[in-house]
Amino acid sequence: MGRPRLLLIPEFTEVTWTIKPRLEEWAEVASYDPPGVGAEPLPHGDPRSLTRQIVADRGLQEIDERGWERFFILSDGWAIPVAVRIAQARHGSILGMALGHASLSFRRDGERPATSPAVYDAMTQLVHQDHEAFIRYGIAQSTGGSVGEELAQRMLDRFPKELMLIGWERVTADDEPFGDALRELDLPMLLAKHDGCLMHAGGVRGRRQGVAERPLHLRAEGPLAERGLCRRSARVLRRGQPETGAGARRALTAAGR
């Protein structure tokens, strides 16, 4: 059995995958920037052309260039809809998915919103007023300090201001029912919650209907979790139903063979 292959989907840039060097110790890892970020060209040079679909298309290009026929998808938060699109396009090649800040929507209204409306509104105001402060301070605070000064500077170096404004609007939009598509994929999934994140705050406990709409607060399972991929809380699902720890481990182990 060769080294597992992991495709890391970017939320805003590949540099936020700070865990990548650790993954490369035991896996073959691919990551990429969205079009318009860093050295990646943007269609027609127009920031308004940035969509989830072209970010997914860039991921598919990465897979094709590497000649990968079987691989895992890793995605986090706002990038989950992009991961779903890639999984739909290459369904027969996907061995499993690991999703951080796992939820079925980005809904900000109603009794159980998936995203904190107060934090989202504050972040949206900040990105329009001062995009540098948005990265240096807003993202760091809303994610519980996961973005430090060095990483913030690397992000600033890659992001044109106009693309940041449009990108925030496009990437975080609650305009895509990706939850149903996620359920229909019928793949082994490792779902994780980042404790301390204010944007996707609040866990769901005791729900047994598959993927909850708000972020999950559950125990890590499966070999990806054992490798340190998710140090917080997670569970593996198949056909939208929770599996036992042993069953989850067998599912991901068998998928990687």
Q: Which residue has the higher pLDDT, 156 or 62?
A: 62
- Cα–Cα dist 93/88, whole Å: 10
191 three-state secondary structure:
strand
Q: In the structure encoding, which two tokens stand for residue 61, read together? A: 């290009």
Of 28-32, 85-89, 139-143, 198-202, the least confident = 198-202
Second-level CATH architecture of 5-255:
3-Layer(aba) Sandwich (3.40)
Of 37-51, 112-126, 230-244, the least confident = 230-244
Contact partners, residue 148, CB within 8 Å, separation at least 6: 140
pLDDT number for residue 22: 93
pLDDT number for residue 18: 86
Model confidence at 242: pLDDT above 80: no
Are 203 and 101 in contact by the 8 Å Cβ rule? The answer is no
pLDDT number for residue 222: 39
Q: What is the mean pLDDT of residues 125-153?
A: 74
- How confident is residue 224, by pLDDT bands cut at 50, 70 and 90? very low
Q: Is residue 50 exposed (0-12), middle (13-18) or buried (19+ Cβ within 10 Å)? A: buried
Model confidence, pTM: 0.75
Average pLDDT, the chain: 75
Which phi and psi (to 5°) does residue 214 adopt?
-95, 165
